[in-house]
Structure 1
Amino acid sequence: MSKFENSTKRQKPGSAYGFALHCCITRAVRTVPAFAAGGPGILVLVTPSGKPPSDYVRPVTTALHGSEVDYLGRDLGFMCIVSKDREAKSVDEFESECRDKRRAIVIAESKDVIPTVIALAADAVVDIPPITVKDLQAACRFVLKTKASEAQAAEALSYPDPLLWSALRIGRPMAESLDRLKRAVNDTAGKKSSLEKKAVPHLHDMHGYGEAKEWGLQLADDLAQWRDGKLDWSDVDKGLLLSGPPGTGKTQFARSLAATCGTHLVASSVGQWQARGHLGDLLKAMRSDFDDARRKAPSIIFLDELDSIGDRESFPRDHASYSTQVVNALLECIDGISGREGVVVIAATNNPDRIDPALRRAGRLDKHVIIGMPDEKDRVAILGHHLAGTLPFEVLAALGPEMEGMSGADIEHLARHARRSARRMQRDVTVDDLKDNLPDLIPVDGFYRRTVSAHEAGHAIVADRTGHGELVSVVVARQVNPRIREHQAGAATFRYRVLSFRDRQSYLDEICTTLAGIAAEHVLFGRHGDGAGVGSDNDLRQATRLAFLVEGNLGMGQGFRFVEAEAHGSSAVLHHQYAQRIEQLLREQFDRALAILSEHRPFLETLAKELQETGNVSAERFLKIRGNFISSTGTALAS
């Protein structure tokens, strides 16, 4: 009889579960006769799938020492390796706890997590077998002082571990334990069905996502083909950056995408990682989430508020080291899973320009999709979805214009409050419930609407003339929601290349486009309003930041000296000579925008008028207006 088998006979009766695990470990160690007999060596035991190494700590240390102890002594070594551990940490612990011990056992969560250094040192790597019918019978007899037939033991092992080992008690007949298990499972099933959460909607049923929805449905199809072995993983689009205003449903998109694809979802953010504690805790939480996604592949890992991680080129000096380590660790995590099949990374941001360019390179988050505010048709569809068909589409359609300026989150809020109003009256939801809960929207009309239309038309035309970005759409709202802290009466949206060569001229083109809004107001009205300087990311702030980059950071101004300044803002205290250079550069690009729009004033007037009347001009419509204008004037537009 081996030393391990002797330890089973000598140990005090503890938990039935621990005894059963000890039986499993005995069988595993028996495959290495010399070690089982008490000889020297290092043994790595791999736990069955789903079983945490921590469950085996007491049985293994008891077997090594021969009795239950809290300290193994000089000659005996022991450690655990789980997927969350970094390889360097596992190797360091092995060096101190096991390498030079006469006898040592390492418990690993899987063979994949065993560092090469430990695998080379081990005399054997052995899988721990699962608990068998005979193991359970022995545990009942030796620990619980009761008997269990083979049939009873087999039935008991069909139940989840937490329920099984709670039901087995000293002196309790196995028949009674099985009856308790049956009742508990039936009760749990009943509670689950009565308290089941509302199902996550699939992308097919979602509205307002445009290109993002198309991408998601294609991903679902690709993953299905990949599962069937019809598509190589290298052909799956596995990185997406979502951007758009708050409330447009970026998080909901990730949930619905995971449901549509039938994959596990890991949802996290830099804020959640930071909440764990200091830098080491943050990095550990980050790696843990990526490890979770890898273990449960196929899966989607969703990273919200990615812009909060920042851009390494613009970190303030006081926090540069900390922030750089966070960005580098995230790059390591994304690259680490890029070659592993079944993991898709999706990130969301309200400010895509504040993301480190390295995160958007090929193989990472190289696909960028903008989710805009829902149009009238989508607003009605979103409302209908949240009301679950209690009101016909024709009735809800009348509310479409009244919901302008509302995001998907706003509409969900509206539906929730309408349902609450109806519950109080003990009746179904009516249109009046919805109208009563609509916010008092502020109309964008009159002269103000004319200035907003001219402003956004100016951005679109100058971007087109300078070649800065690809126009997606131009919109002017008919009303704005006062509940939104920073609302936009209008916006021109552009799409940019993920990675491209940028010289001084490209930055000047961007500054010129940014200042084109107020330039257009000057061309048509002789003055500009305050819209270009209001809000956290207004035109003047963006233009000033870009001008400072040119003059102080990129060596594209009058000198090569790099000047430290606060990232993404114009509040840094600048040396007088830099302030003069920046003002001069801004003035030059404003005058340039003014000249372009003055030359093409008829085109500006035509586009601004259509925006004023319709509130929306797509990229296709913009090109058609431009083409018609060229045809009608018989002249080409010059840059």
Structure 2
Amino acid sequence: MKNISRDRDGFSLPEFLAYASISGAMRPFTRANRYSIGLVVPDWDRRVTYIRAALVVLDRELNFRFRDQVRAFDDEKAESSTDSVLDMLQNTKTIILFKSAEAVPSDLRHALDAVVHVPSPDSRLVRGVVRWAYGIGVTEQQAEALARSNWKRLKLAMTRGRPISRVFAILEKMAQEELPAQRQTKDPDTLSGIRLEDMEGYGEAKEWGLELARDISDWRAGTISWEDVDKGVLLSGPPGTGKTMFARALAASCKVKVIATSYAKWQAKGYLNDFLKAMQRSFKEAKNAAPSILFIDELDAFGSRDGAAGSNASYDIKAINGLLEELDGIEGREGVIVVAACNHPKMVDAAILRAGRLDRHVVISLPDEHAREAIFRMHLHDCLTADDHRDFAAATSGLSGAEIEKITRNARRSARRRRGPITRGDVILHLPFMADIPRIS
């Protein structure tokens, strides 16, 4: 630890522990002029802390915010992650973090000088680092407790001059307060009960959403910048295809808040000034809640400036200009993903769809039979048989997800009136044709 300052900006006990662990693991390479090392870290959730520590191992004067010499390898996007590492291998010294030895691609394993396992901090290491960094002596039991602690809480609790007894009291209080918070019912405006992983029939939209969830997780962890995250998407399709549900499920998978609004909500008072203020409030709310998803419905209601005519032309043009200004954001909108929905994408002004705004367009079509079966299963909570779900799907060709949800909602209402569990007959009663469905052989 002699090569690092106790007063280093951004460093607290977790970073010091990570630095000590990495330094010990890399001791055989400390005198080498060039190397490319793969580090298998013991806890992937702590990778941002290990990145900061690894950069200081490379150069104690290096600002840990610059990550061109250290990277966390994403094994879920192995091909693209390997490509991004290739240029790094040309650096004089490079460190790549991996979650496990199995996550190291064979080609990259051969390219690296070594793959080294970083040990978890043990009580002996913790006692030494705490004494060095804070001048505090801790017992064996206290050191073991600190080694097991959540590093985010530890960073908040362990400050200079604070007695160790006070540190443990704060850690205990943080842990106690987290338990009831975990048991609280989720705010329906924050997280939907349905996640993208549970949804069928969304094709490209689902693939994009799951990729976005991974990118937001990486951005939160500090392994990618906001420039690497998609800023927005336009969803189009017939009414009832589940565009709003998709936005809520996307927020649930991304573990972010969703702020839902629409052209009609912004225009509620009619006057242009009120419209623009309402729009600005929605974007501000999303920025304050970042990372978040701002869902804008009825985007096609804005129209296009090219087609603006008549007495409302000035209103429409200024409304679109106001939206473009918010999408660009003079102060940026880091952490805000804009998901817009419409029925008629050709009516949307071309400038809204330019790069950096809503430059990705995904069409959500009416669900096919397989998707309808999955939608019935999702809304009925698997309380009926697989044959029932297939039969209902076969009988609802051409219906949207919203129409299927209405059928299941009415079926549950019928079951409540009978004071009994939902049955096949309850669903059939509310299908488009009220006749029993023959079994599909």
TM norm. shorter chain > 0.5:
yes
**In the alignment, what sits opposite 2:398?**
405
Aligned to 2:411: 418
Partner Cα separation in structure 2 for residue 405 and residue 372 of structure 1: 10
Structure-2 separation of matches of 1:378 and 1:337 = 42
Does 2:342 match 1:349?
yes
Q: Which amino acid aligns with 1:227?
A: R
Classify 1:194/1:281 alpha carbon distance in 2 versus 1 (closer, same or farther; 3 Å).
closer
How do 1:475-494 and structure 2 match up within 5 A?
none
Alignment CA distance shift 1:370-1:388 (3 Å)? same
What do residues 270-296 of structure 1 show as CA deviations (whole Å, max 9, x unaligned)? 110110341111100101111111121
**Residue in structure 1 matched with residue 354 of structure 2 by the alignment:** 361
Distance 2:347 2:309 in 1: 14
Residue of structure 2 aligned with 1:293, choices 275, 286, 294: 286
Paired residue for 2:371, among 372, 375, 378?
A: 378
Partner of 1:242 in structure 2?
235
Pair 1:209–1:338, CA change in 2 (3 A): farther
Q: Is the 8 A contact 2:192 2:249 kept in 1?
A: no
Taking the aligned partners of 1:264 and 1:308, their CA distance within structure 2 comes to: 25
Alpha-carbon distance in 2 for matches of 1:371, 1:206: 13
* 1:52-67 correspondence runs (5 A): none
Structure 1, residues 407-455: CA drift from partner, whole Å, max 9, x if none? 00011001011111111112211111111110139xxxxxxxxxxxxxx
Contact 1:300 1:346 in 2 (8 A): yes
Look up the SS of the partner of 2:402 in the other structure.
helix
Could you tell me which amino acid in structure 2 is paired with residue 304 of structure 1? Answer: D
Q: Shift in Å at residue 367 of structure 1?
A: 0.3
Aligned-residue CA RMSD (Å):
3.0
- Contact 2:304/2:350 (<8 A) preserved: yes
- The residue number in structure 1 matching 2:213 is 220
Q: Does 2:308 match 1:315? A: yes
Give how far 1:260 is off. 0.8
Which whole-Å CA distance do the structure 1 matches of 2:185 and 2:332 have between them?
40
Q: Within 5 Å, which residues of 2 pair with 1:67-216?
A: 199-216=192-209
Please tell me whether the aligned partners of residues 338 and 363 of structure 1 are also in contact (alpha carbons under 8 angstroms).
no
Q: 1:284 aligns with which of 261, 264, 277?
A: 277
Which of 316, 329, 340 is the equivalent residue of 1:336?
329
Amino acid at match of 1:241: L
Report how far residue 395 of structure 1 moved.
2.5
* 1:344-379 deviation per Cα after TM superposition (whole angstroms, max 9, x unaligned): 111100000000000011111110000000000110
Partner of 1:268: 261
> Which letter maps to 1:360?
L
Q: Does 1:230 pair with 2:223?
A: yes
Return the offset for 1:337.
6.8
What is the CA–CA distance in structure 1 between the aligned matches of 2:403 and 2:326, rounded to whole Å? 34
Query: Within 2, Cα distance between the matches of 1:332 and 1:214?
Result: 29
- Is 1:427 matched with 2:420? yes
SS of 1:398's equivalent in the other structure is: helix
Q: Describe the shift of the 1:194–1:202 C-alpha distance in structure 2 as closer, same or farther (beyond 3 A).
A: closer
- Amino acid of the structure 2 residue aligned with 1:265: V
8 Å CA contact 1:338, 1:364 repeated in 2: no
Q: Which moved more, 1:231-240 or 1:219-228?
A: 231-240
- For the residue of structure 1 that corresponds to 2:395, the secondary structure is helix
Change (3 A) 1:226 1:280: same
Q: Distance in 2 between the 1:202 and 1:407 partners?
A: 19
Q: Post-superposition shift, 1:200?
A: 2.1
1:437 aligns with 2:407: no
* C-alpha displacement of 1:243: 0.2
Displacement of 1:192 in angstroms is 6.8
- Indicate conservation of the 8 Å contact 1:337/1:343, yes or no: no
In the alignment, is the contact (CA less than 8 A) between 2:192 and 2:251 conserved in 1? no
**1:396/1:431 contact within 8 Å kept:** no
Check whether the contact 1:207–1:378 (CA below 8 A) recurs between aligned residues: yes
Task: Assess if the C-alpha contact under 8 Å between 2:373 and 2:390 holds in 1.
Answer: yes
Deviations 1:467-488 (A, max 9, x none): xxxxxxxxxxxxxxxxxxxxxx
**Correspondence 1:572-611 to 2 at 5 A:** none
Structure 1, unaligned runs of 5 or more: 1-157, 159-184, 442-639
Q: Is the 8 A contact 2:300 2:343 kept in 1?
A: yes
Cα shift at 1:199: 4.9
Q: How far off its partner does 1:392 sit?
A: 2.1
Q: 1:328 to 1:343 in 2, by over 3 A?
A: same
Deviations 1:556-595 (A, max 9, x none): xxxxxxxxxxxxxxxxxxxxxxxxxxxxxxxxxxxxxxxx
Q: Which residue, out of 376, 379, 383, partners 1:390?
A: 383
- Hey, what's the Cα distance between the residues in 1 that align with 2:264 and 2:360? 23
* SS in structure 2 at match of 1:345: strand
Distance 2:251 2:427 in 1: 31
Provide structure 2 residue ranges, at least 5 long, that are not aligned to the other structure.
1-172, 435-441
Count of residues in Structure 1 that have an aligned counterpart in Structure 2: 260
Contact 1:276 1:285 in 2 (8 A): no
Judged with a 3 Å threshold, the aligned counterparts in structure 2 of structure 1 residues 333 and 194 are, in CA distance, closer, same or farther, namely closer
Moved over 4 A (4+): 191-199
What's the CA shift string for 1:223-262, capped at 9, x where partnerless? 0011111112111111100000000000111111111101
Read off the aligned partner of 1:329 and give its amino acid letter. Answer: G
Shift of 1:207: 1.6
Tell me the secondary structure at the aligned position of residue 252 of structure 1.
helix
SS at match of 2:248: helix
Distance in 1, Cα, partners of 2:264 & 2:204: 28
Find the aligned partners of 2:398 and 2:211 in 1 and give their Cα distance.
30
Specify the SS of the correspondent of 2:392. Answer: coil
Amino acid at match of 1:244: G
Contact 2:376/2:392 (8 A) holds in 1: no
Relative distance call for 1:199 and 1:336 in structure 2 (3 A) is closer
- C-alpha distance in structure 2 between counterparts of 1:425 and 1:196, whole Å: 29
Residues in 2 aligned to 1:264 and 1:399: alpha-carbon distance in whole angstroms: 34
Change (3 A) 1:423 1:215: same
Looking at structure 2, the residues matched to 320 and 195 of structure 1 have their Cα atoms a distance apart, in angstroms, of 40
SS at match of 1:437: coil
Other-structure match for 1:179: none
Tell which has more relative contact order, 1 or 2 (C-alpha 8 A, sep 6+). Answer: 2
Residue in structure 1 matched with residue 74 of structure 2 by the alignment: none
For the residues of structure 1 that align with 2:412 and 2:428, how far apart are their CA atoms?
Answer: 12
Rg larger in structure: 1
Instruction: Give the Å deviation of 1:195.
Output: 11
User: What is the CA–CA distance in structure 2 between the aligned matches of 1:407 and 1:228, rounded to whole Å?
Assistant: 38
CA contact 2:295–2:340 (8 Å) conserved in 1: yes
Partner Cα distance (1:303, 1:358) in 2: 16
Kept in 2: contact 1:302–1:346 (CA 8 A): yes
CA distance in 2, matches of 1:192, 1:230: 30
